[in-house]
Structure 1
Amino acid sequence: MKRIAILIMFSALVLILTSCFPGSFPRVPKTLLIDDSHNNRIDDEASVELSKLIKAFEDKGYTVDLSSETGFSPEGYGIALVLAPQSSYSVNEMSGLATLLSRGGKVLLLGEYYPYYDNAPINAIASYLEVGIQFNNNLLHDSTNNYDNEEIWVTTTKFNAHPLTAGLSKIVLIAGATLNTSGEAQTIAYAEPTSYVPLNVAAIESLSGVVAGSGSSLTEFSKQVTIVVPLVAAASVGSGKVVAIGDINLFSDDIWEYISGDFIDLFDNRKLLNNIIDW
């Protein structure tokens, strides 16, 4: 009887600790839902273009589903990957993401550059979730800090202290958009001072706040404006977490054979993904 009483007390203590310290115990299943059913801006099947990303999750014990096969019902998953959707989400679908976050899950938002992709649908999701992160409709360039002399394959070594940046030295975005952060959202990685956005219609719109804040006018610039802005951002939503990046290819395979390997294996891109999974 004494042994049974001790076991009961120990079980009760575990339950108390779990409720008091949510991060100390798993609260959500080790399952990933990849959204590929909203006219997503990918060039091949998600299982092909993201094969190494999928393997990275599976190596950490995750089961991975595609919404094109199972339907988009994220509330039952541990992590949802929103992959540059071109079709708008319904209120019920966005509510499912909010429910996932309320249960301690994670949402990974990956946008893309303009005009290849219009970030309006993914921004609507971010606004609904109230994460304080928005994707700009632009394309970042850097003629100095880049990979393989491609100035739209921008690299950065600029990181803020955060669990997501542990062990990172450099990452590369394979043509990406910049982000805006507000409120409690945190900038995780940001552009090098050599990075810039060419002045086109979309860029002027997204940079208007930057220029206004500097006391300068747009007419003072001819072809480009030097900026330092977020490339990776994160936010806590209740007990859940959101990560946003303006590029889907930094974690993808190189299905076009542009390089000798895959984009996920360049610099510390894979390490960033592992940090996101573990966070």
Structure 2
Amino acid sequence: MSNNMFEVENVTFSYKSYGEVNVDIPALEHVSTTIEKGDFVVILGRNGSGKSTFARLLNALLTPLEGKVIVLGKNTADEKNLWDIRSSAGMVFQNPDNQIIATTVEEDVAFGPENLGVEPFEIRKRVDESLQTVGIAEYKKSAPHYLSGGQKQRVAIAGILAMKPKCIILDEATSMLDPIGRKEVIGVLKKLNKEEGITIIHITHHMDEAAIANRLIIIDNGRIVLDGTPKEVFSNVDTVKNLGLDVPQVTELTYRLKDYGISVDKLPLTVEEAFDILKQM
């Protein structure tokens, strides 16, 4: 049995522009990759690179114009697979306010499993477990609009968790959060990946978030241009910069030491790693 969560085969996608001249605006061109079950993948790319389109193709919100996307063996182009695919791969978007629909936190988390036809007793169990997992069980009776941005995003993640997905796809879900909110959400993602074995696909423009993944994909002009571990990808400092992106600050600082005649074999991704390297030197 395949260990792949996603198989993307030669996928091309364009958006239609309906103006004075009808033109196709290419978003992805001939993209092929596989993502294994249990992976923690971060996807980077400048604005308009195609990364959000890629996410929506994985969740079958979009279907390819060419090629195919297979989710746990099911083709996203086949309508009868959509229910299973969206139950297996839940999506968390940029603005948590657009995803929260109920008047209390627990009602909102229960919404997904209710729509799946789950038994009331099981829904209660899932809601409690999901809120416990994301660390906001004490707010279950609260009105969501009283919560912070990070807490709201954790409610959105709990709502996905209650549907027992195999994968969670986050489309810039931390971009509207302050540093504390971002740290909260990233902590939840690491826990879900490590303890529950849930596949995480996290689209972000924060380089420090990219450093925690076990795989990093950079998309530019609708194509995958770099793919590897964060250490492998961020060691190409100049290439990443030329793509309009940054590397983690501590990586760049250590890289720039070569301008002063100090060369480092392996570039660090964290302050702790940099401290160890400099201490040895």
Instruction: Settle same-fold status: TM greater than 0.5.
Output: no
Give the structure with the larger helix fraction: 2
RCO comparison, higher one (Cα < 8 Å, 6+)? 2
TM-score, normalised via structure 2 length: 0.28
